[in-house]
A and B are shown apart, each in its own frame.
Chain A
């Protein structure tokens, strides 16, 4: 099992969700987050005051997938979240040791 953590532009969330659903993945966890990478921030001006906004709003998606599916899942996210502009986000993949479905007690691949 792998944990795929993707940080994307907020308005791309729906496209990413439907791309992952098309792969047969059955759930995900979404968090509104702030951060920056190479995009840095932008400038906002309120009356005369200029503010450098360093932390931009992003959406973090966490989805746990069977190891065999992880490459397809990453490709699906890339394909649906990319705009070609700076600030499209990042994807991290890490190992997951164990998973349990609370209701039934099923474990690992049958729990995700």
Chain B
């Protein structure tokens, strides 16, 4: 994000320091460009690796355990493939589409100015959320790459056990290109604190007759952001960008690919809840990188996000188990693991904004609501969202996104929203924020829902979505990959 200004600034500062040395000690206050803090850099390197751990092996095992033995390997493969292809797309054009200035379409998507990571070196830096604090841009690219990788990997759970690998291979890059990168740009791209603060200072210092020019500069900086960011939407670690986005795409996939052969007539129990718990636990651990890493610095906000990621997850797991105890008579391990993931999803957008008690409430709500969606509502509607991507990620994400608008309020123990121009936490308008959050939820649902439906239709026309019935009965492991997950 936003490196151009820094590089120019670096050149200016170098020139200024020469002048200072030679002629004018009084100018010693000329701003020097910030350098990355080693602690911040070390933490963000670690956080990036943790987020990869969420996907492989975390999500792969979580999903793999939930399918039947004959499809275990296909599940692992689909997630693993997704990570690999997204890493490549990301460095070629994905990062640029998500996090560069997009010209006329800047509200919706970035441009190609950073395609092939052009112009980025170990010395270029990216802004964090504090004025004057930066991290190396390469770390930022890695960190955001892991987000781009896990999001489409979440989708494949909806169509588990019945979508051809060739269809996955086509769909994943298309969806990342036309849905993920634009949504990430709309929600997360902005000019950064440095440009915002500089423009605001210039406005304050401007002579009365120059106020109009300075105000125009402030407006230009504010306008250099994605659509949802300009609305004022807050999404700390990706409730909309990652979870609502993938959840609704998965729902569309489940509808368009159709139900599994034998759905509702044959038993399709998970083949290994041991794997599923191992996967869920790895997701939880990796999620500390996801949420706390989204602070982009090793600071108190990161610590708040980490604490919230403990509290909401535990609360949601307990809430799901308790709801099951009352509804079905027995609390289940799968319920606990599902509840934990629902809590992680819901706290994602709120993790750096809500207080720990807010996160607790959010977790309880998410655990109960997602349990209701995955059992009562899904059974009543009869769709085959095989691994409950919609019920957990989309619904949990919506609860989190809306809940963030409420729980960020300082009156409820939240942090409020920092006003960079004023240099302090702004007055909090809860109603306005909830409306903004809801608008962003709708934007994501429509963009990703419609986008996924179109892309699945294209893929269906090109290679088809489903294997033949016999092949599906035999299992995707042998049919698509010529291997079995287990040979004993």
Contact = CB atoms under 8 A, between A and B. Distances in A.
B267 A47 contact: no
B100 interface: no
- Residue from A47, A48, A49, A52 with most neighbouring chain B CB atoms (10 Å): A47
A36 interface: no
Contacts of A48: 374-376, 378-379
A51 B262 CA distance: 13
A46 B379 contact: no
A95 interface: no
Most buried by A among B267, B269, B375, B376: B267
Contacts of B338: 47
B334 interface: yes
Interface in A37-54: 44-49, 51-53
Contacts of B270: 46
Contact of A51 (B267, B328, B379, B388): B267
Given A45-B328, A45-B330, A46-B334, A51 B375 contact: no
25 contacts: A44-B269, A45-B328, A45-B330, A45-B332, A46-B269, A46-B270, A46-B332, A46-B334, A47-B334, A47-B335, A47-B338, A47-B374, A47-B375, A47-B388, A48-B374, A48-B375, A48-B376, A48-B378, A48-B379, A49-B269, A49-B379, A51-B267, A51-B269, A52-B267, A53-B267
A49 B267 CA distance: 9
B220 to A, nearest CB: 50
Contacts of A44: 269
Contacts of B267: 51-53
Contacts of B328: 45
A48 B338 CA distance: 12
A44 B218 CA distance: 61
Given A44-B269, A45-B328, 18 more contacts: A45-B330, A45-B332, A46-B269, A46-B334, A47-B335, A47-B338, A47-B374, A47-B375, A47-B388, A48-B374, A48-B375, A48-B376, A49-B269, A49-B379, A51-B268, A51-B269, A52-B267, A53-B267
A108 B378 CA distance: 62
Contact of B268 (A45, A49, A52): A49
Interface in A48-78: 48-49, 51-53
Interface string B394-435: 000000000000000000000000000000000000000000
B66 to A, nearest CB: 8
Main secondary structure on chain B at its contact with chain A? helix
| A-B residue pairs, 5 tightest by C-beta | A48-B375, A51-B267, A47-B374, A48-B379, A46-B269
Nearest to A54: B267
Interface residues of B, number: 16
Contacts of B375: 47-48
Interface string B264-286: 00011110000000000000000
A10 to B, nearest CB: 19
Contacts of B374: 47-48
A55 to B, nearest CB: 10
A89 B388 CA distance: 38
A52 B269 CA distance: 11
Nearest to A47: B374
Interface string B368-402: 00000011101100000000100000000000000
Contacts of A52: 267
Interface in B82-96: none
Contacts of B334: 46-47
A27 to B, nearest CB: 25
A45 B268 CA distance: 11
A52 B375 CA distance: 16
Q: Which of B334, B335, B375 has the most CB of A within 10 A?
A: B375
Interface in B341-384: 374-376, 378-379
A48 B376 CA distance: 7
Contacts of B332: 45-46
B143 to A, nearest CB: 32
A47 B334 CA distance: 7
A26 to B, nearest CB: 29
A45 B327 CA distance: 11
Residue of A46, A48, A52, A53 with most partner-chain B CB within 10 A: A48
Nearest to A53: B267
A102 B267 CA distance: 44
Contacts of B330: 45
A53 B335 CA distance: 19
Nearest to B378: A48
B387 to A, nearest CB: 9
A49 B324 CA distance: 12
Contacts of A45: 328, 330, 332
A38 to B, nearest CB: 21
Contacts of A51: 267-269
A98 to B, nearest CB: 35
Interface string B311-338: 0000000000000000010101011001
